[in-house]
Chain A
Amino acid sequence: MRLLRRVPVVVGLAVTLLALARLLVPSPVGLADQGDAHRLLCQVGVRDATPIEDRTGWGRSSDAYVPFVWEDHTWYGEGCGAGGTDETYRSSQVTLLRAAKALTALGGFDGDLDLRALAVVCSLLLGLLSGVLVSVLPGPRPVRVVIVACLALTLLDRGAAGVFASGYTEPAALLGLLATLAASLVVLRARRPSPAALVALAGSGLFTVTANRQMVAVLPQVLAALLWRPADPAPDADDADVPVGAGSRRPPAAEGRWADGPGGPRGRGERASRLLAAGLALVVLAVAVRHVGAQPERLAQLDRHDQVFNGILLLGNDPERDLADLGLDPALVAARGLDRDEAREIVAGDDYRAVEALTDLDVARHLATHPRESWLLVRRGVDAAARFGGETYLGSYRAGDGAEPYQTENRIWLVGVFFEIADAVPALLVGTVGFAAWLGLRSLRRARTRDGRALAAVAVGVAAAAAATFVVTIFVAGQVELTRRLLVTNVLVAWSIPLAVGAHLAEREPPPPLVLPPDAPEPDDPDPDDVGPEDPEP
């Protein structure tokens, strides 16, 4: 019972129960499958249990209702690759699916993998990470609880919750981001982070980055969190007035626990910590680069087609000229607005080979030299992002539960309402991210404590990640399925505000008054929930 008096435990339990209720009661809620689920779920040896004859046709297909039940199946040859090839679609989401498959057997769910079990796994992780975040966030307890509540409710909002019972990669991306936030706070708050905290940050960062192709956009933030350390704030004018020495627990300069010189125990410990962080950053970078390089060539081909024929050519006034600028035959304009399969005859032609030879650099150069097209691409991306939680062609319910085909679920809609307003005024989205970044940067400069700076840095990182995932997604996807693919961006936009406001509140906190002599026992922690950063003795 004492455990239940600890706020992180209570918050963790509350979030878990809310998530479970949200996703499973009274009937399970998820996100239907437009065809991408196979390439992930086949990796755990299952197939959609919906009879083959029921998987096509309006109102019966897997995008009208969520295919919750999957059954064991042996896949041969190219049966489990991306887009009908032998190339595996690598994603950390497979780890969550493996856990869900194990839980399906243990928990008496239907089939060999029930997406309701995935919902349970995700709910437990969401609760756990929420509790951890309450512990590691700096600041007064009520503020920490409110911040975590905002982050968790965003994930349970109508635009996001469904993915936690789906065959998409977003659960790994979103839960990985939450874990990375927590690990970043632990590392950034500590003067000398423990090896465990650094490994946890590297691991959660990699889990996030490898969730799907777009998540490589958050790699810089993960590397920055590993390598950058907020400097201890210089005493400001107010602090200078505080007498130091015997009458105060605040030591004079070059005294006390943190006063060892560069060759002292603290200097050595810090160097070792920085060395470990640098080593882990290299590992993260190497794995991320390898992950990007190992992505299926087939998906890169599909993306390239969409970039050109469903992106650039739909934006400009003269598509034939755009093709020529890209070094392509203007006759390919016939494929404008068509997907690769619809444009099969053109794709099979020799002229199309040049499209497959295009590089990201070619496309980026074209966009850089055509500002109007770039502007329109951004504009349409913002419009698509603003439709978060709005109309979708993917249903939320299970067949047989009384829902109409393609019916979507709308019980938690607070963040959705914000996006509805943004749908009318798309500049609001850009303004929100800009405001969060500005507030975070301001707090980073003004914060009087390491904790305040750590939170401000995380807030800035989240705002930057929102912008980075947006850019990468609209660049890669053209205009295909943008709203669904911008889900992570939207969550980051919604997260950026409570974190930036939290950082703003933390910037006012005074620096810690106590510095202990080396052998003094730790005083009673004023907040038993705050496990804070690890900062062990050298």
Chain B
Amino acid sequence: MTGGRARRGAAPLRSVAATALAATAALLALQPVLRPPEVAAGTPFAQQRVGTCHRADTPEEVYLVSDRRPPVPCDQPHDSETVAVRRLPAEVVARPERPGPEELAELAADLPCGEDDVRRHLGSDDTDRHWYVGTRVRFPTRDEWAAGERRFRCDLTVIGRATTLGSLAGIMGRPESAAVRRCLAGTEAVPCDRPHDAEVLGPTLDAADNNPAARARFLAETCEPEARRFLGAAPGDLDLLATLQGADDADLHCVVLALPAGSRVTGTASARARAGDGDGGGGAGG
């Protein structure tokens, strides 16, 4: 009987313990549902500054409409650099809730985050043109929008790669600008920091205007003066040889050819880039 009483006395305790165990297990298992994990706050939009660099490690971060990752120093690998922080157009500012991602993507294409900003930041112009540089717009987060933030951020990206070029500000005056200049390896367009046999400069002759008279006029009146300006004092192995060359887009470009003919070089022949470095810039390549 004593054993029976002891067993009966232990039964409620076992029941309480089992119930407590089941309840604890259930609460632990449901914890992510009841209280989802919080993400890091990062850098609010109010602290976004021109000239800061950013690194996205995942496609999710690349395609996000907002960006609160803390900036990284521009001398470390990064994939974008802020060139402007501006106010959104009035019709969007009036919206109490941030528009959806599709609407923002459409809006981004129309925002004043274009050629003028980019040229000013890079130091490019009609002769010393930049290539392989894209823009990416970032908006405030939904919470920031709800709190009244109505500005957007324009970032520059070097298309297709993370960059270790340092800041892109004024890069056209530095030899590193080879990465954002267009060169030709045969008829294939490549960045000038890859082996090439010609470097593109100045304006292009549209394929539709490609006739002998127009070509001759374009060469004499546009390419040669542009090339002289582009090269400055002609360097030894990259003598002035402005010519028209079709790239794979069928337009005709003014180019300077590497000499001797058939050799390949890397880097840029731009006088401004060389002057910034105090060095020849281009080097013989494969």
Partner of B39, one of A75, A203, A204, A536: A75
Give chain A interface residues in 253-301, CB to chain B under 8 Å: 287, 291, 298, 301
Q: How large is the interface on B (under 10, 10 to 19, 20 to 34, 35 or more residues)?
A: 35 or more
Query: A498–B61 Cα gap in the complex (Å)?
Result: 47
Residues of B within 8 A of A210 (CB): 30, 33
Assuming A43-B37, A78-B68, A84-B64, is B23 touching A199 (CB within 8 A)?
A: yes
Structural contact, A95 and B29, CB atoms closer than 8 A = yes
Assuming A98-B32, A194-B19, A348-B102, is B25 touching A77 (CB within 8 A)?
A: no
Query: A457–B65 Cα gap in the complex (Å)?
Result: 50
Binds B, one of A47-55, A417-425, A447-455: A47-55
Query: A90–B57 Cα gap in the complex (Å)?
Result: 24
Residues of A within 8 A of B65 (CB): 78, 84
Assuming A76-B69, A95-B28, A301-B100, is B57 touching A287 (CB within 8 A)?
A: no
User: Taking the complex as formed, is A340 at the interface, i.e. its CB lies under 8 A from any CB of chain B?
Assistant: yes
Structural contact, B69 and A86, CB atoms closer than 8 A = no
Structural contact, B142 and A536, CB atoms closer than 8 A = no
Query: A75–B8 Cα gap in the complex (Å)?
Result: 54
Structural contact, B60 and A203, CB atoms closer than 8 A = no
Partner of A84, one of B4, B19, B34, B101: B101
Structural contact, B28 and A340, CB atoms closer than 8 A = no
Query: A348–B107 Cα gap in the complex (Å)?
Result: 9
User: Taking the complex as formed, is A34 at the interface, i.e. its CB lies under 8 A from any CB of chain B?
Assistant: no
User: Taking the complex as formed, is B211 at the interface, i.e. its CB lies under 8 A from any CB of chain A?
Assistant: no
Report A163 CB to chain B, min CB distance, Å.
18
Report A199 CB to chain B, min CB distance, Å.
4
User: Taking the complex as formed, is B31 at the interface, i.e. its CB lies under 8 A from any CB of chain A?
Assistant: yes
Query: A196–B24 Cα gap in the complex (Å)?
Result: 11
Structural contact, A77 and B106, CB atoms closer than 8 A = no
Query: A287–B31 Cα gap in the complex (Å)?
Result: 12
User: Taking the complex as formed, is B42 at the interface, i.e. its CB lies under 8 A from any CB of chain A?
Assistant: yes
User: Taking the complex as formed, is B22 at the interface, i.e. its CB lies under 8 A from any CB of chain A?
Assistant: yes
Structural contact, B30 and A348, CB atoms closer than 8 A = no
User: Taking the complex as formed, is B126 at the interface, i.e. its CB lies under 8 A from any CB of chain A?
Assistant: no
Partner of B102, one of A52, A79, A85, A340: A340
User: Taking the complex as formed, is B50 at the interface, i.e. its CB lies under 8 A from any CB of chain A?
Assistant: no
Assuming A84-B65, A94-B32, is B58 touching A52 (CB within 8 A)?
A: yes
User: Taking the complex as formed, is B226 at the interface, i.e. its CB lies under 8 A from any CB of chain A?
Assistant: no
User: Taking the complex as formed, is B147 at the interface, i.e. its CB lies under 8 A from any CB of chain A?
Assistant: no
Query: A384–B25 Cα gap in the complex (Å)?
Result: 36
Query: A537–B4 Cα gap in the complex (Å)?
Result: 12
User: Taking the complex as formed, is B249 at the interface, i.e. its CB lies under 8 A from any CB of chain A?
Assistant: no
User: Taking the complex as formed, is A483 at the interface, i.e. its CB lies under 8 A from any CB of chain B?
Assistant: no
Query: A83–B70 Cα gap in the complex (Å)?
Result: 21
Interface residue SS majority, chain B: helix
User: Taking the complex as formed, is B187 at the interface, i.e. its CB lies under 8 A from any CB of chain A?
Assistant: no
User: Taking the complex as formed, is B141 at the interface, i.e. its CB lies under 8 A from any CB of chain A?
Assistant: yes
User: Taking the complex as formed, is A249 at the interface, i.e. its CB lies under 8 A from any CB of chain B?
Assistant: no
User: Taking the complex as formed, is B234 at the interface, i.e. its CB lies under 8 A from any CB of chain A?
Assistant: no
Give chain B interface residues in 70-124, CB to chain A under 8 Å: 70, 99-103, 105-107
Report A405 CB to chain B, min CB distance, Å.
18
Q: How large is the interface on A (under 10, 10 to 19, 20 to 34, 35 or more residues)?
A: 35 or more
Partner of B141, one of A78, A80, A92, A343: A78
The residue of chain B having its C-beta at the shortest distance from the C-beta of A88 within the complex is: B36
Partner of B22, one of A199, A298, A537: A199
User: Taking the complex as formed, is B213 at the interface, i.e. its CB lies under 8 A from any CB of chain A?
Assistant: no
User: Taking the complex as formed, is B40 at the interface, i.e. its CB lies under 8 A from any CB of chain A?
Assistant: yes
Query: A200–B27 Cα gap in the complex (Å)?
Result: 11
User: Taking the complex as formed, is B59 at the interface, i.e. its CB lies under 8 A from any CB of chain A?
Assistant: yes
Structural contact, A73 and B57, CB atoms closer than 8 A = yes
Give chain A interface residues in 167-208, CB to chain B under 8 Å: 194-197, 199-200, 202-204, 206-207
Interface-centre pick from A52, A95, A204 (highest chain B CB count, 10 A): A52
Structural contact, A76 and B68, CB atoms closer than 8 A = yes
Assuming A76-B70, A196-B21, A196-B22, is B33 touching A47 (CB within 8 A)?
A: no
Query: A55–B60 Cα gap in the complex (Å)?
Result: 11
Structural contact, B22 and A200, CB atoms closer than 8 A = yes
Structural contact, A344 and B69, CB atoms closer than 8 A = no
Report A431 CB to chain B, min CB distance, Å.
36
Structural contact, B101 and A83, CB atoms closer than 8 A = yes
Structural contact, B141 and A86, CB atoms closer than 8 A = yes
User: Taking the complex as formed, is B159 at the interface, i.e. its CB lies under 8 A from any CB of chain A?
Assistant: no
Residues of A within 8 A of B25 (CB): 200, 203
Assuming A76-B70, A206-B26, A348-B102, is B142 touching A195 (CB within 8 A)?
A: no
Residues of A within 8 A of B99 (CB): 348
Report B12 CB to chain A, min CB distance, Å.
8
User: Taking the complex as formed, is B221 at the interface, i.e. its CB lies under 8 A from any CB of chain A?
Assistant: no
Structural contact, A203 and B57, CB atoms closer than 8 A = no
Report A67 CB to chain B, min CB distance, Å.
11
Residues of A within 8 A of B204 (CB): none
The residue of chain A having its C-beta at the shortest distance from the C-beta of B101 within the complex is: A84
User: Taking the complex as formed, is A328 at the interface, i.e. its CB lies under 8 A from any CB of chain B?
Assistant: no
Extra 17 A-B pairs, beta carbons < 8 Å, given A83-B101, A94-B32:
A47-B60, A52-B56, A52-B62, A74-B40, A75-B39, A76-B43, A77-B69, A80-B39, A92-B29, A95-B28, A200-B22, A203-B22, A203-B23, A210-B33, A347-B100, A348-B99, A537-B8
What are 20 A-to-B residue pairs whose CB atoms are below 8 Å? A38-B58, A42-B60, A76-B41, A76-B43, A78-B66, A78-B68, A78-B141, A79-B69, A92-B29, A92-B32, A195-B15, A203-B22, A203-B23, A207-B29, A210-B30, A287-B30, A287-B33, A343-B102, A345-B106, A536-B15
B residues touching A (Cβ–Cβ < 8 Å)? Answer: 4, 8, 11, 15, 18-19, 21-23, 25-34, 36-37, 39-43, 56-70, 99-103, 105-107, 141-143
- Report, nearest first, the 10 A-B pairs whose CB atoms are least far apart: A203-B26, A77-B68, A76-B42, A94-B32, A196-B18, A88-B36, A348-B106, A199-B22, A348-B103, A347-B102
